[in-house]
């Protein structure tokens, strides 16, 4: 499935380069207009990152996100600095279908797993951003990629399997925002290792050819951000290409 992504800072649509707030591109687009545009082109899901809320949970852009969800044009998964059950509850209450959890899933897995039991694992996406070191270890970075958690991707996921984890959005940090192609080998390996998980590929996708090359990995979702905003191709073109992969 093709999943367009939108990053929000103070009500504006932006993109960060490799998670760096100092390397920000702002687009003259109204978020609700983007929802309608992507839905018109056939998108069934939108991935929202609340970058303002990630920095300061007191400033979470709930009213804007609620307005986007209220269009009922598609389903939404949303994250950005989820730190408490209240954060989860607020997003679910305004109609977000899946809450995206990053750093906390690594730092406090017991807490996140308790939420999965309480609300249902189908309402969560684990967003795991990794650096691959010289030894080939897939180490998860946290806190806006500023910290190396020391936790290896496979070991963490193993602990979530018993709690029914369904969705994992995995980003190779070195690829994000570069438009230079995703890490195909990473996704192929992860799909094979954890076949019960729906993998969402994210980072580096800059062309339709990149999407074509992702097909053999059998990822379930492809997150598209900067490439769409910069007109490299359209949502409609990406969906048409992805649907040619045959029944999954």
Q: Is 203 left (phi over 0), alpha (psi -120 to 50) or beta?
A: left
Q: Active site residue: 7, 87, 172, 210, which one?
A: 7
Contact 21, 51 (CB under 8 A): yes
* Residue 115, both tokens: 């939420």
The residues with which 169 forms a beta bridge, in sequence order, are 127, 200
* Residue 215, both tokens: 């097909």
209 carries an active-site annotation: no
Instruction: Tell me the CA distances in angstroms from 104 to 24, 34, 56, one per residue in order.
Output: 24, 29, 15
Q: How many CB atoms lie within 10 A of CB 25?
A: 14
| CA separation for the pair 195, 220 (Å, rounded) | 11
Q: Active site residue: 50, 87, 129, 210, which one?
A: 129
- At a CB cut-off of 8 Å and minimum separation 6, what does 120 contact? none
Instruction: Tell me the CA distances in angstroms from 25 to 6, 17, 81, 128, 209, one per residue in order.
Output: 12, 8, 20, 23, 24
| CA separation for the pair 247, 188 (Å, rounded) | 18
* Distance between first and last Cα of the chain: 10
210 carries an active-site annotation: no
List the catalytic residues.
Answer: 7, 129
């Amino acid at each position: 499935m093709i999943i367009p992504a939108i990053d929000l800072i103070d009500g504006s649509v932006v993109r960060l380069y490799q998670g760096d707030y100092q390397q920000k591109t702002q687009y003259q687009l109204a978020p609700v207009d983007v929802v309608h545009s992507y839905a018109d082109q056939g998108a069934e899901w939108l991935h929202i990152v609340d970058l303002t809320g990630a920095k300061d949970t007191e400033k979470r852009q709930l009213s804007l996100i609620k307005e986007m969800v209220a269009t009922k044009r598609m389903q939404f998964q949303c994250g950005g600095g989820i730190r408490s059950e209240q954060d989860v509850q607020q997003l679910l209450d305004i109609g977000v279908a899946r809450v995206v959890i990053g750093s906390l899933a690594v730092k406090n897995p017991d807490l996140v797993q308790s939420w999965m039991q309480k609300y249902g694992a189908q309402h969560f996406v684990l967003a795991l951003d990794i650096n691959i070191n010289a030894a080939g270890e897939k180490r998860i970075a946290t806190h806006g990629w500023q910290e190396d958690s020391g936790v290896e991707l496979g070991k963490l996921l193993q602990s979530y399997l018993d709690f029914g984890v369904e969705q994992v959005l995995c980003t190779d940090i070195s690829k994000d925002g570069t438009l230079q192609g995703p890490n195909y080998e990473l996704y192929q390996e992860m799909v094979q290792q954890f076949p019960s998980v729906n993998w969402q590929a994210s980072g580096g996708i800059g062309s339709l050819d990149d999407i074509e090359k992702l097909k053999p990995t059998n990822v379930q979702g492809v997150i598209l951000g900067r490439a769409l905003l910069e007109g490299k191709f359209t949502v409609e073109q990406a969906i048409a290409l992805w649907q040619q992969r045959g029944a999954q």
